[in-house]
Amino acid sequence: MIRTKRIYEPPAPEDGFRILVDRLWPRGIKKETARIDLWAKEVAPSTELRQWFHHDAGHWEEFEKRYRAELKASAAVDALLAEIRKHKVVTLLYGARDEQHNQAVVLKELLSKH
């Protein structure tokens, strides 16, 4: 099972294996209290794409398209899939405020198909 969750929500036992999927470390979060099992910054959107999107829901469809293209070209996705298969429950963590328009949503959908 793959879930998504904001990094700013407290860790919970039901999170299982916690993977941060942001390229940048979230502001105000201490590494020792975040309970991150893996920081998969290689699967996060490129800096250029992240800056272009700027969490503007009006750009969502184009962001999804461009991000999927980046993921398709990345060997890091296969490595992440291999890691995910080792765990019953995985939670993809992200820093964005918008819970419907962020990279973890796209990544979860892509990983769930495998």
pLDDT tens digits for 65-95?
999 999 999 999 999 999 999 999 999 999 9
Stretch 35-52: mean pLDDT, rounded? 94
* Structure confidence at residue 20 (pLDDT): 97
pLDDT tens digits for 52-63?
998 788 889 999
- 16 in Cβ contact with 87 (< 8 Å): yes
CA atoms within 13 A on the CB side of 93: 24
* Structure confidence at residue 113 (pLDDT): 86
Confidence grade of residue 114 (pLDDT, cut at 50, 70, 90): confident
Predicted confidence (pLDDT) at residue 7 exceeds the cutoff of 90: yes
Whole-model pTM: value is 0.92
Distance CA 30, CA 67 (A): 28
Chain mean pLDDT for the chain: 93
Percent of the chain with pLDDT over 90: 82
